[in-house]
Amino acid sequence: MQRRVFLQSVATAAVLGSLRFPGLALAAGSDPEDKLIEVWTGEHGGYPAFDQVNPTSIKAALEKGMELSRAEIAEIAGTAETPTFANTIAALEDSGRALDRAQRFFDIFTSTMNDQAMQDLQTEMSPILSAFGDDIIQNARLFARIKAVHDGRATAGLSPEQVRLVENYYQDFTRQGAALDDADQATLKDLNQKLASLYTRFSQNELADEESYRLTIETEADLEGLPESQREAAAAAAEAHGAKGKWVFTNTRSSMEPFLTYSARRDLREKGWRMWIMRGDNGTATDNKAVISEILQLRTQRARLLGFETHAHWTVENNMAKTPQAAMDLMMKLWGPALRRAQKEIADMQAIADQAGDGITIEAWDHRFYSEKVRKATYDLDQNEVKSYLQLDKVREGMFWAAERLYGLRFAKLDGLPVYHEDVSVYEVTRDGKRAGLWYFDPYARAGKSSGAWMNEYRTQERFQADVTPIVSNNANFVKSGSGPVLISWDDAVTMFHEFGHALHGLNSNVTYPGVAGTSVKRDFVEFPSQINEHWFPTPELLNRFALHVDTGRPIPAELLAKVHKSLKFNQGFGTVEFLASAIYDMRIHLAATPDGTIDPGAFEKSCMAEIGLPREIVMRHRPTQFGHIFSGDGYSAGYYVYLWADALTADAWELFEQRGVWDPATAKAFHDDILSVGNAVAPDEAFRRFRGRDVDTEALMRLRGFA
């Protein structure tokens, strides 16, 4: 399961909901901020002016964008005309465009170029943006007009997409407190501003611990077990950190997981593991435990104010699952089989260690190291050997090839467009010779960049006022090689295909209104297109073309590929258990939080993991103090389960592809037409039924994981 971030600021995502504002023309001005809020122009359908961006210009653009948006909202709310779709809902879709563009820059830079100046701006502006969003939601005259259109939608002669848009606006506003009285709205606004500040503090604390702690190795003998590619990357990282001649492993997943997999030095594995899992939990000024406790309390107060028992009930009510219990039922259905599989995997590791005479009891910092030994013994498969066939650039080319074969999209690299960092490359996307959008790729780790991998949506597709093509990006944290191509692990390659699936969701959007375009779908549906895209990576047709040896250029041998395929369900117990532990914790702590009490997130972690029987050899994939999915914004809070829910959809849909042929053009077209292109213009359960011909069969998930 991979982290993913949509391009909406964590301070305003929940507040603004579907209020996506993709493009208002402004009169040309001389102020620097005008470059950030005016329509993106130029060749290739227009593009963001990254060469004009700095913290000062972003702040000014946000302030001017809010000023313009206030005037637009006042005009919509204040008109004496009878509320209609055109003068209310469509007008809202066409408002706030300047602010949206400013926020795009704000969000891009706080996630990818978050130096001290940007962090200061983030701290200052997050509560202001939150308050601005509340001002829109709490505009009584505006909400009255939205409600009037909603109440009359059945007899207004609207298209299905327009009806869906009306319903989304009404639901977004009511869920955010538009119907509350003045006193309660004032309380809600205060809660949202406090939460916005806490989310910023949490993410900045996490970033600080990722950048402040690192594992430095001074003698080459201590690199025992590490492949040459890792050694070169660590040497390059050391030089970048002013420690030339040494080897540095940074406190990021892309650096630590490979180290834990291959380092033969158990003491160093434990040191690196503890550094990694203790981010935000070191008792320093960047400790996140008190931040989490306050977030939980404020979220519960907000949920009660909005008429929900808990924050979990408020969150899940807006997802496909509808209730926390439904989400828990799916998680617990998988927990037992996954736990039994994980325990068997641990026993296999212990047997390997005993046979080798290592004289140890497997601990959490040993898991990846001995798991790799079990893989080699069971399947005669060396991941380092596989890695030599997985060049970052070739995997990217494989993504392009699959996208063209499935959906007719072609990618061509562009030079000369402004970017926010030299590592970023830009590609024009076309279909049948016509522009379909732009794709930005930002693959490497650096200071000020959030860890993990994610997709951003810079500009949303629409055909409302003009035919606007989407602009999306994929972002990762691969470690640059000291020399030669960057080699990535099998899991890293799967992650690339996952995040590219989100990009394809945005690029294939084909709707009229931006509010229902692209990835603007239910949270437990949005991971469906990304997770199914992972399944094309292991296909022989793709690997034979793009899994090419770094030295010889020869394709991966059939014998090695057969071993890879046999091992694909290997370690499913560990992967499922570490994810479910995080997802169960997320749901349970949000169900347990009270409006006037405090919860110690660390103590709750211990009790929750003991209750469900998490083996000591496995920790949560994201421990609480670094669980940015749920504590750096409302995005995945009480919703980390959505990856599993989407995986149930994925497993069932992929069985259809397997039955018809995974590259079957008719099935790919149906997936494009019924799933990728419709955004939120069609309810997700209905979209799935159109594609699959029935509701989801969750037993397919058990079969996919090898638990049935």
Q: Report the 3 state secondary structure along 198-225.
A: HHHHHHHHHHHHHHHCEEEECCHHHHCC
Average pLDDT over residues 627-635: 94
Q: Residue 429: which of 438, 441, 421, 416 has the closest Cα?
A: 438
543-to-88, 536, 568 alpha-carbon distances in Å? 51, 9, 14
Q: What is the pLDDT of residues 376-411, one digit of tens each?
A: 999 999 989 999 999 999 999 999 999 999 999 999
**Among all chains, which residue has been given the structure tokens 């992650």?**
495
Q: Is the pLDDT of residue 538 over 60?
A: yes
Rounded-to-10 torsion of CA 50, 52, 58, 60: -160
Q: Residue 241: which of 253, 229, 252 has the closest Cα?
A: 252
* In contact, 495 and 531? CB cutoff 8 Å: no
Reported confidence tier of residue 4, pLDDT bands at 50, 70, 90: very low
Q: What is the pLDDT of residues 494-536, one digit of tens each?
A: 999 999 999 999 999 999 999 999 999 999 999 999 999 999 9
> What was the pLDDT predicted at 386?
95
CA angle at 258 for the pair 242 and 420, rounded to the nearest 5°: 55
Helices 289-305 and 572-592: crossing angle in degrees, nearest 10, is 60
Q: Which two tokens stand for residue 353?
A: 């260690």
Q: What is the pLDDT of residues 56-70, one digit of tens each?
A: 999 999 999 999 999
Query: Cα-atom radius of gyration of the chain, to the nearest Å?
Result: 25
Sequence-distant (6+) residues with CB within 8 A of 441 are: 396, 424, 425, 426, 427, 473, 474
| Residue 215 β-bridge partners | 249
Q: Is the pLDDT of residue 3 over 70?
A: no
If you write DSSP's letter for every residue of 480-538 in order, what string do you get? PPSSSPPB--HHHHHHHHHHHHHHHHHHT---S-GGGSTT-S-HHHHHHHHHHHGGGTT
Q: Is the pLDDT of residue 26 over 70?
A: no
- Tell me the helix, strand and coil percentages in the chain, rounded to 5: 60, 5, 35
Q: What is the Cβ-side half-sphere exposure of residue 159, based on CA atoms within 13 angstroms?
A: 10
Q: Residue 491: which of 540, 534, 446, 539 has the closest Cα?
A: 534
Average pLDDT over residues 268-277: 98
pTM: 0.91
Q: Is the pLDDT of residue 361 over 60?
A: yes
Q: Is the pLDDT of residue 11 over 70?
A: no
Helices 367-379 and 253-262: crossing angle in degrees, nearest 10, is 60
CA 358, chain centre distance (Å): 39
Nearest-angstrom CA–CA distance, 452 and 260: 17
Residue 472 belongs to what H/E stretch? strand 471-478
| Residue 431 β-bridge partners | 409, 434
> What was the pLDDT predicted at 481?
81
Q: Is the pLDDT of residue 75 over 80?
A: yes
DSSP secondary structure code for residue 693 in this structure = S
One of 38, 345, 462, 499 is an active-site residue; which one?
A: 499
Nearest-angstrom CA–CA distance, 439 and 504: 10
Q: Is the pLDDT of residue 27 over 90?
A: no
* 134-148, 228-242, 427-441, 578-592: least confidently modelled range: 228-242
> What was the pLDDT predicted at 30?
52
Nearest-angstrom CA–CA distance, 322 and 273: 37
Whether 33 is catalytic is no
Q: What is the Cβ-side half-sphere exposure of residue 233, based on CA atoms within 13 angstroms?
A: 24
Nearest-angstrom CA–CA distance, 259 and 249: 8
Nearest-angstrom CA–CA distance, 490 and 387: 7
* In contact, 479 and 488? CB cutoff 8 Å: no
Average pLDDT over residues 237-241: 93
Average pLDDT over residues 25-37: 64
Q: Is the pLDDT of residue 433 over 50?
A: yes
Average pLDDT over residues 196-202: 97
- Number of Cβ within a 10 Å radius of residue 607: 12
- Number of Cβ within a 10 Å radius of residue 289: 17
Nearest-angstrom CA–CA distance, 358 and 433: 61
Q: Which two tokens stand for residue 169?
A: 């606006």
In degrees and rounded to multiples of 5, residue 472 shows phi and psi of -130, 165
In degrees and rounded to multiples of 5, residue 479 shows phi and psi of -95, 125
Q: What is the pLDDT of residues 172-191, one digit of tens each?
A: 999 999 999 999 999 999 99
3-state SS class at 635 = coil
* 17-26, 55-64, 630-639: least confidently modelled range: 17-26
Mean pLDDT, the chain, rounded, equals: 93
> What was the pLDDT predicted at 23?
31
> What was the pLDDT predicted at 451?
87
Q: Is the pLDDT of residue 615 over 50?
A: yes
> What was the pLDDT predicted at 707?
86
> Which residue type occupies 117?
A
**Among all chains, which residue has been given the structure tokens 């490979």?**
258
- Number of Cβ within a 10 Å radius of residue 454: 22
Residue 657 belongs to what H/E stretch? helix 642-660
Nearest-angstrom CA–CA distance, 351 and 191: 53
Which tops the pLDDT comparison, 306 or 10? 306
> Which residue type occupies 522?
K
Q: Which two tokens stand for residue 305?
A: 């104010």
Nearest-angstrom CA–CA distance, 123 and 140: 29
Q: What is the pLDDT of residues 295-354, one digit of tens each?
A: 999 999 999 999 999 999 999 999 999 999 999 999 999 999 999 999 999 999 999 999
Reported confidence tier of residue 1, pLDDT bands at 50, 70, 90: very low
* In contact, 279 and 210? CB cutoff 8 Å: yes
**Measured in Å, how far apart are the chain's first and last C-alpha atoms?**
21
3-state SS class at 341 = helix
Q: Which two tokens stand for residue 217?
A: 């190795």
Nearest-angstrom CA–CA distance, 75 and 19: 17
Nearest-angstrom CA–CA distance, 94 and 69: 10
**Among all chains, which residue has been given the structure tokens 């260690």?**
353
Q: Is the pLDDT of residue 260 over 70?
A: yes
Helices 97-112 and 116-137: crossing angle in degrees, nearest 10, is 140
Q: What is the Cβ-side half-sphere exposure of residue 95, based on CA atoms within 13 angstroms?
A: 24
**Among all chains, which residue has been given the structure tokens 């053009």?**
665
* In contact, 468 and 94? CB cutoff 8 Å: no
> What was the pLDDT predicted at 32?
67
Nearest-angstrom CA–CA distance, 363 and 500: 34
Reported confidence tier of residue 15, pLDDT bands at 50, 70, 90: very low
